[in-house]
Amino acid sequence: MLHMFFSQWFLDRMADDDWWPMQILIKCPNQIVRQMFQRLCIHVIQRLRPVHAHLYLQPGLEDCSDDMDGPVEDIGSRSCVTRFVKTLLSIMEHGVKPHSKHLTEYFAFLYEFAKMGEEESQFLLSLQAISTMVHFYMGTKGPENPQVEVLSEEEGEEEEEEEDILSLAEEKYRPAALEKMIALIALLVEQSRSERHLTLSQNDMAALTGGKGFPFLFQHIRDGINIRQTCNLIFSLCRYNNRLAEHIVSMLFTSIAKLTPEAANPFFKLLTMLMEFAGGPPGMPPFASYILQRIWEVIEYNPSQCLDWLAVQTPRNKLAHSWVLQNMENWVERFLLAHNYPRVRTSAAYLLVSLIPSNSFRQMFRSTRSLHIPTRDLPLSPDTTVVLHQVYNVLLGLLSRAKLYVDAAVHGTTKLVPYFSFMTYCLISKTEKLMFSTYFMDLWNLFQPKLSEPAIATNHNKQALLSFWYNVCVDCPENVRLIVQNPVVTKNIAFNYILADHDDQDVVLFNRGMLPAYYGILRLCCEQSPAFTRQLASHQNIQWAFKNLTPHASQYPGAVEELFNLMQLFVAQRPDMREEELEDIKQFKKTTISCYLRCLDGRSCWTTLISAFRILLETDEDRLLVIFNRGLILMTESFNTLHMMYHEATACHVTGDLVELLSIFLSVLKSTRPYLQRKDVKQALIQWQERIEFAHKLLTLLNSYSPPELRNACIDVLKELVLLSPHDFLHTLVPFLQHNHCTYHHSNIPMSLGPYFPCRENLKLIGGKSNIRPPRPELNMCLLPTMVEANKGKDEVYDRMLLDYFFSYHQFIHLLCRVAINCEKFTETLVKMSVLVAYEGLPLHLALFPKLWTELCQSQSSMSKNCIKLLCEDPVFAEYIKCILMDERTFLNNNIVYTFLTHFLLKVQGQVFSEANCAGIINNLITNLINQYQNLESEFANQRVEIFKASSTLNGDLRALTLLLSVHTPKQLNPALIPTLQELLNKCKTCQQQKSSLQEQEAKERKTKDDEGATPVKRRRVSSDEEHTVDSCISDLKNEPREALTPTSTSDNETRDSSIIDPGTEQDLPSPENNSIKEYRMEVPSSFSEDMMLATHSHHGEEQLGSGRFEECKDLKEPSSSKDSHIIEDDTEFPSTSISAVLSDLTDLKNSESQASQDPESGLSLSCSHSRGLLSHMQQQHQDILDILCRTIESTIHVVTRISGKGNPAAS
């Protein structure tokens, strides 16, 4: 009972003196202290409630009278609890102001007290607490003291300081402090309900609903104080009182009409809550109907907010959705098209979107102007589609009225943007596009002339219309047909005002959005109508667009893309075209090419130049037009800019442009070759004075930092330049190339390797960005011995990478040599460069160099003799031959190389080996051969596999031995050599017999299966478990013919030459000057580089044997005496007409470098006689590698036997 005593004592003290509640509950600045005091008071009252609850209404109302208007002074005087509450209520009347800072805990206490039970709420109602709080909030003293206390200025300042209150301007504290007050009022009103009516006192009811315009409701709604509880208060007040509900709704809309949009926000929030109420207790008025009936009364005053509010309601409320949808005729045109404020039109568009019952459809809508339709192919339910079509039809019907709003002087240039944006958004399928068809002329009359002709820089109405028009035509040929079949439309559609002000950002942005749609429409029409295509191609506005828009691809990417699509259609030819149509195309190309050559700045417009020339340059006539109009100079300017940008670390994106530009260069240069005798062609090429600098810059792109497509493009153009102007480029390029290679060989500067250099690793690790580009433009195609990671034949993938990387460059060097021969300018510098590059290329096993010098050796001209003399004096050449015999003996498997050494080894043997060294090498070779065979002999259970593995090495070693024996006869040979060779020969022949049996058996099996109608299987080469092993061993060996054709057989050469030179040109070459003859003979077929690269170095023996494209190297010959079998003996002049055949040989060099060794017996006879010419025109046929090796062994046995026979008498 002690706690009861102290609780009563505590509340008595608080009730007798309001100083404590004021100081702690209201004035204390510490929120925690205020909250603790509030909880303490609630806790004390809860302890006392069982004893004091029945005393709350005594004396006076314990008789349960419903009269709430009686005297209230004595109510609750018998309990300390009620006396304490009355003391707190009195504070509102004289102790605190509504704008005081710390009222949250004060009203929270009263709210918690009222929720304790019915006695507490009835006690507060009996005290007319609602009136007290309303008058407190509204700033009055109460009904009995109607006058507001007026304080002097000084007293007011003192009281504000004492009570720590804020000025009325800082109302941000009011909602938080008075939230509980509104909740308490709503609770008390609901607690006063009795059946179908409220039992509030007249004062309370008057405080809540009295006065004009419900001042209390209006004020605290405007202040935004606890709108949710305000909604509950209105529900409680209006239940079973529809008239009051209508008046309150009227007050809400009247307030919205008078207030600013920002101040009206709480009222719209309250309207939303009232609309959301559904399925409540009986007697609730139909607030949704009242609200929707009154919304149009205020929409004129605040249209944007009303439309936005409706857009939120329509997806949530079926009544709102139905009402807005049914009244579209009353508001769509009014607010979507006619209204002057853009925000209102945008809000109307969003309201239309909200009508479509699809969340994905609503969420993706943006009132932007874009060609992309996010709703395309969006799956919609049937009900949703019905609503969409209903809305879309209403909008289509307004097309005829839209022309009322396009006068820019009256309506501006944006009124139709939301309208067309939403209609574009509605195009989710072809159905909607076909719905437009009947309204096509309404659209056309809207566009022309009121939108297309006025000189308005940025008419956004036109942009939105064109975007809709384009999208309604895409994938809908029916709508495109409406355009191309209407003569009025086709006549005028090309007339459209466009301002090309590339410095005005607003104009640029506008054109970036409008032009793609416009030119897209024209493209769609051209794709469907050839007649319209021809008409449009000759239109002045199209040429204007090509001239003024395509050079600015970075500013108008979409428009430029569409213009080039149009250009592609303008030049496209059909089989059924009439002569005049073809002439129109020809004239269009001529006009457009000339226009570009006049107006383009090559330094900045390379993208346009590439795109246009890629389309327009289809024939030699087109390309010559470029040459005659200084097009080479223009393209060179573009190349110089791209070359500079390419070597900047941030400009790596120009690689593709460089390759494209060089491809155009190549086609243009090639087109001149048939017309080099024309003076205008010659003059145009002479005027291209930048060609030498251009060639040097091409060379600086040849390094391991450039991707293969760029390197190959540069080399292709360089080849063409050399063929067109050999004297110029031999004079300038050869010293540069020679110096470059010598620098890398003789300097100790470490070579910088880029990411494209051949590497055995799976991934080439690249460091920072600085490593992606070379430090400076540089030519670096040097292959030093230290850079080779594996000898040829060790790693097939690596061999292929090396060959792909270096072959085209070595081919270019070879071409320089061939051209120099033709021009009789084979200088000492070129000789040195030729042998140095050949020495670098030894790891590649390229036969370019041996083939060239073998042919020169056959010639009896003074120039060839002088060149051979220079070659043999070069120490690098001796090192080249020594390297073949010492380190690259498998290279001798190529008959071209073997024959080359039969000619030159004797000439330089003194520089290559001394007598002692040569004898030592021969002995080592013999010892290695014997040891190698003995190592294999123990495993001859798998003899075929082992012989195949060793065949390449054995064949090369045997050929090296025969070559060395041809220049040096040892005093004594190892006696075990001949027996070893005989045993090896027997084993090889045994393997051949077994393989032949297998092949015959497989042939029979295939024939049987073919007869049965089964699908034939692939022929097994040797056996399924040996195939890969065999293939990997014969990378450098090819089949060779069993017999050499006679020298007089020239059928193969004639066939090959005919692919290069047209029939008859060899007999009737242009005269009168030799230069013109030589220029013409330097022609290379258009597929020159492609043929070279296609002849890849295959490491699969059967594939090589089956290709049927390998030819033996052929003699250098005069075309006029191509069938003369005695060319070497009869001719003393170097053949000046050899370059065509030589360039034809280049097509086979890639094959030749990997060609198998030819007839070793014939080779041996050459090496022994030292005077016979090179064997030519070898028969192409399938040949087994074992057969090659057998014949080589037989030849070696023959030589060794002969030497042994000669040596025995001497020995004896």
Say yes or no to pLDDT of 510 above 60: yes
Say which range, 618-632, 798-812, 969-983, has the weakest mean pLDDT: 969-983
Say which range, 70-74, 139-143, 878-882, 1023-1027, has the weakest mean pLDDT: 1023-1027
Q: How much is the average pLDDT of 1014-1019?
A: 40
Contacts of 819 (CB under 8 A, 6+ apart): 722, 723, 726, 730, 1082, 1139
pLDDT tens-digit map of 523-537: 999 999 999 999 999
Phi-psi region of 1064 (alpha: psi -120 to 50; beta: other; left: phi over 0): left
Give the tokens for residue 833. Answer: 């460069």
pLDDT tens-digit map of 476-502: 999 999 999 999 999 999 999 999 999
Q: How much is the average pLDDT of 732-744?
A: 94
Q: Where are the domains of the chain?
A: 1-61+71-127, 196-298, 301-493, 726-741+794-893, 913-1002+1187-1199
- Tell me the C-alpha distance between 1166 and 466, whole Å: 81
Say yes or no to pLDDT of 504 above 70: yes
pLDDT tens-digit map of 1045-1080: 223 333 333 332 322 223 233 333 333 333 333 333
Say which range, 384-388, 1146-1150, 1191-1195, has the weakest mean pLDDT: 1146-1150
- Tell me the C-alpha distance between 396 and 951, whole Å: 84
pLDDT tens-digit map of 4-18: 777 788 888 887 877
Backbone angles phi, psi at 20, to 5 degrees: -65, -50
pLDDT of 354 reads 95
- Tell me the C-alpha distance between 10 and 41, whole Å: 9
Among 828, 820, 814, which residue's Cα sits nearest to residue 727?
820
Whether 188 and 130 have beta carbons less than 8 Å apart is answered as: yes
Q: Who wins on pLDDT, 1053 or 690? A: 690
pLDDT tens-digit map of 956-991: 999 999 999 888 888 778 888 888 888 888 888 887
Q: How much is the average pLDDT of 745-771?
A: 70
Q: What percent of the chain stands above pLDDT 90?
A: 51
pLDDT of 278 reads 65
Say yes or no to pLDDT of 1210 above 80: no
Q: How much is the average pLDDT of 550-570?
A: 96
- Tell me the C-alpha distance between 1044 and 1103, whole Å: 23
Say yes or no to pLDDT of 388 above 90: yes
pLDDT of 71 reads 54
Q: Who wins on pLDDT, 1150 or 613? A: 613
Q: How much is the average pLDDT of 993-1007?
A: 83
* Confidence category of residue 374, pLDDT binned at 50, 70, 90: low
Q: How much is the average pLDDT of 811-833?
A: 95
Say yes or no to pLDDT of 434 above 80: yes
Say yes or no to pLDDT of 792 above 60: yes
Residue matched to tokens 């919205």: 256
Among 766, 652, 751, which residue's Cα sits nearest to residue 706?
652
pLDDT tens-digit map of 717-730: 999 999 999 999 99
* Confidence category of residue 1110, pLDDT binned at 50, 70, 90: very low
pLDDT of 769 reads 42
* Confidence category of residue 28, pLDDT binned at 50, 70, 90: confident
pLDDT tens-digit map of 238-286: 999 999 999 999 999 999 999 998 999 999 999 999 998 766 678 889 9
Q: How much is the average pLDDT of 1087-1115?
A: 34
Among 705, 619, 629, 706, which residue's Cα sits nearest to residue 662?
706
Q: Who wins on pLDDT, 1161 or 311? A: 311
Residue matched to tokens 């209150």: 165
pLDDT of 473 reads 96
Residue matched to tokens 């005290």: 127
pLDDT of 1053 reads 34
pLDDT tens-digit map of 902-913: 999 999 988 888
Mean pLDDT of the chain: 79
Q: How much is the average pLDDT of 692-719?
A: 96
pLDDT of 1083 reads 36
pLDDT of 675 reads 93
Whether 752 and 775 have beta carbons less than 8 Å apart is answered as: yes
pLDDT of 1123 reads 33
Say yes or no to pLDDT of 1177 above 70: no
Chain centroid to CA 288:
53
